[in-house]
Structure 1
């Protein structure tokens, strides 16, 4: 399902997320005060805007309250990050995710209501993009520019099906390499055993095929 994202701050972290989300087929609105940074992501965003995220009038004019998610990825300016987060929260955006510079910054963001806080030195933009776009993805590991491994929860739609009936290789060109059940990993699951809701499927494949599997089986 296509979602709408606004990314405020287009350093390495923000531009990485913008590119990943755009390649996933989502609508991405990219904002930065630096025109050069904005121009650098024009090919990886639905629309772009040069402006200051701390400006409430700007946020009003671009309709920030209409976005599903807003990612505040402002770089070294902690004050600007905090003010932007406060303003976006005031617009009742349902999901406000923010990049933190350090533990102090993290604590302040928690207190003002950030819905999730990132430490980019610990998390890759592509992994975060996967979390943003799916409630069932638990982990995401890049193997190359095109191939990844994901862990995802089995939903009610998958529950009761078998690997034989799902046939992910034939239908989605990706492979279930293991299933986690009650904390135990089965690398040779019986293809005729039914999958239970809450089992964790570990899949490998092209990013586009993995996305098709998630969208087709959720």
Structure 2
């Protein structure tokens, strides 16, 4: 994957953790925050960190934020500040501006002024928790408006049959992406259609949420 140079404005909890993770993934991260404590905390972890007012367009220009392909705005509950920063970034020509929202109204305004992606960390976290509580074995939920789950299943009723015989894609709109044959410790990815299943095997699947209750593996 090509290394990216990413700007993050707002180094509170979310912005700081995001910046750390992006650095772990091998990308360069330039951070900006007006809080000197947040700047000191991040200065040894990020590529570059600056203290300054992100709502000031001149500051953004001087620091070169217009040169980033992706800028994340995460300024906590400061709705007015995030809107102004987003507006400046789009006027400066940043192609991808990601903004943290705190309400539905906030999201609407950000979308209208040109934010490319608006996200609610709390909403996403709550969705994940609710799904994990109600769907045991859930690995992840893909938030594309399609209700797609990444789910782990243990084979019982399907034992002694191949994936071809089970015809899971046509029956359940289900795609098997990995198998761990019991008692092996590791998964085999993208299994072939003639792979035989045994009781206790573990499957990782993509599946529509509404189909999950119909599946008896």
- Pick the TM interval, shorter chain: 0.5 to 0.7
What are the Cα deviations for residues 93-135 of structure 1, in whole angstroms up to 9, with x where unaligned? 11100000111111100110100001011336xx9xxxxxxxx
Q: How many residues align?
A: 148
Q: 1:184 aligns with which of 174, 181, 194?
A: 174
Q: Provide closer, same or farther for how the CA distance between residues 151 and 102 of structure 1 changes in structure 2, counting only shifts above 3 A.
A: closer
Pairwise CA distance, 1:16: 1.0
Alignment correspondent of 2:64:
63
Pairwise CA distance, 1:181: 5.3
Alignment correspondent of 1:54:
55
**1:23–1:44: 8 Å Cα contact kept in structure 2?**
no
TM-score of the superposed pair, with normalisation by structure 1: 0.61
Higher relative contact order (CA 8 A, sep 6+): 1
In structure 1, runs of 5+ residues without a counterpart are: 128-140, 142-148, 153-179, 195-201, 204-218
TM-score of the superposed pair, with normalisation by structure 2: 0.61
In structure 2, runs of 5+ residues without a counterpart are: 133-138, 143-167, 180-188, 195-203, 206-217
Q: Looking at CA atoms only, which structure, 1 or 2, has the larger radius of gyration?
A: 2
Instruction: Indicate the RMSD between aligned Cα atoms, in angstroms.
Output: 3.0
Asked whether 1:14 is paired with 2:15, we answer: yes
Runs of 4 or more above 6 Å deviation:
149-152
Report the Cα distance in structure 2 between the residues aligned to 1:122 and 1:24, rounded to whole angstroms.
24
